[in-house]
C-alpha cells in the first residue's frame, strides 16, 4: 500500500484548517479514556467551518509525513482533519484509549494515516516533510497557501482532479483546433 499524497489527503479530509499547535497532551486512561492529543488553535478554515481550539488525537499506526510528536508548539500547519467520536470503535482502531469497556462519546479529530498529514506554513509558503534516501526527513516546498485555497474547493489537488482537468483541457484544445480547421477549410472552399 502506498502513501497518500498531501493533495489527496486534503481533498479527502472532512475539514482542512490552518492552525497553530498550542500543546501536546499525554493520554488520560482514567475515567475519560482520552488518547494522547495535540491541541491546536484554528486560525482559518479552508474546507469546513471549524473555529477556535481543536483536539487532534495522536495515532499509533502507519506512516505519516509529520510525526505527531514533531509538530512544534507555536508553529502553524495546514491540517487535513477527519471527525471522530471515541465511542465509535471503527473510527478509533489505531488509537490507544486504554479500555476494554465502552468508551464515552467524545468528539475530536484525527490526521490521516498512511499519508502525508500536514503542511508546514512559513509566511505564505507551504512545505511537506519528505523522507530522505539515506533516512531522516527534510522540508520540501509544496506551493503557496493561496493556491491551495483556490484549488482545493474545485478538487484540483487530488490525483483524479488533475487527471480530469488534463483530459478536459486536451478535449477543449483538440475541439478548438478542429473547429478552426473546419472554418478555415469552409472559408477557402467558398
The predicted model gives 93-121 an average pLDDT of 75
Query: Is the same domain home to 132 and 181?
Result: no
The predicted model gives 53-81 an average pLDDT of 87
Q: Would you state the pLDDT for residue 67? A: 84
**74 lies in some domain:** yes
Query: Is the same domain home to 125 and 173?
Result: no
Q: How many domains does the chain have?
A: 2
Lowest mean pLDDT among 22-26, 109-113, 116-120, 145-149: 109-113
Average pLDDT, the chain: 83
Residues 6 or more apart whose CB falls under 8 angstroms from that of 41 comprise 19, 20, 22, 52, 53, 54
Q: Would you state the pLDDT for residue 97? A: 57
The confidence band for 4, taking pLDDT boundaries of 50, 70 and 90, is confident
**For the segment 120-132, what is each residue's pLDDT rounded down to a tens digit?**
999 999 999 988 8
Query: Is the same domain home to 150 and 163?
Result: no
Query: Is the same domain home to 18 and 97?
Result: yes
Cα–Cα distance between 179 and 90 in angstroms, integer?
54
Cα–Cα distance between 34 and 54 in angstroms, integer?
14
Query: Is the same domain home to 144 and 79?
Result: yes
Query: Is the same domain home to 90 and 103?
Result: yes
The confidence band for 105, taking pLDDT boundaries of 50, 70 and 90, is low
Structural domain that includes position 141 = 6-154
Cα–Cα distance between 179 and 144 in angstroms, integer?
37
Query: Is the same domain home to 93 and 170?
Result: no
What's the predicted TM-score (pTM) here? 0.78
Query: Is the same domain home to 117 and 183?
Result: no
Q: Would you state the pLDDT for residue 21? A: 97
The confidence band for 31, taking pLDDT boundaries of 50, 70 and 90, is low
Cα–Cα distance between 151 and 155 in angstroms, integer?
6
Query: Is the same domain home to 174 and 135?
Result: no
Contact 129, 6 (CB under 8 A): no
**1 lies in some domain:** no
How is residue 94 written as a grid cell? 489505531
Query: Is the same domain home to 24 and 98?
Result: yes
Q: Would you state the pLDDT for residue 96? A: 58
The predicted model gives 142-171 an average pLDDT of 79
Query: Is the same domain home to 126 and 176?
Result: no
Q: What angle do CA 56, 41, 13 make, to 5 degrees?
A: 50
Amino acid at each position: 500500500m502506498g502513501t497518500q499524497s498531501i493533495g489527496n489527503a486534503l481533498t479527502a479530509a472532512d475539514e482542512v484548517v490552518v492552525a497553530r499547535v498550542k500543546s501536546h497532551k499525554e493520554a488520560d486512561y482514567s475515567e475519560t479514556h482520552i488518547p494522547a492529543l495535540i491541541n491546536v488553535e484554528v486560525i482559518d478554515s479552508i474546507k469546513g467551518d471549524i473555529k477556535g481550539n481543536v483536539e487532534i488525537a495522536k495515532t499509533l499506526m502507519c506512516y505519516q509525513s509529520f510525526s505527531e510528536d514533531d509538530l512544534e508548539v507555536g508553529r502553524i500547519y495546514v491540517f487535513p482533519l477527519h471527525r471522530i467520536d471515541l465511542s465509535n470503535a471503527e473510527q478509533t482502531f489505531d488509537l490507544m484509549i486504554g479500555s476494554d469497556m465502552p468508551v464515552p462519546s467524545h468528539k475530536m479529530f484525527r490526521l490521516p494515516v498512511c499519508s502525508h498529514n500536514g503542511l508546514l506554513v512559513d509566511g505564505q509558503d507551504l512545505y511537506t516533510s519528505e523522507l530522505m534516501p539515506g533516512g531522516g526527513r527534510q522540508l520540501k516546498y509544496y506551493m503557496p497557501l493561496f493556491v491551495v485555497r483556490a484549488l482545493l474547493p474545485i478538487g484540483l489537488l487530488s490525483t483524479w482532479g488533475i487527471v480530469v482537468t488534463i483530459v478536459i483541457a486536451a478535449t477543449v484544445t483538440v475541439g478548438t483546433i478542429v473547429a478552426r480547421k473546419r472554418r478555415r477549410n469552409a472559408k477557402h472552399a467558398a
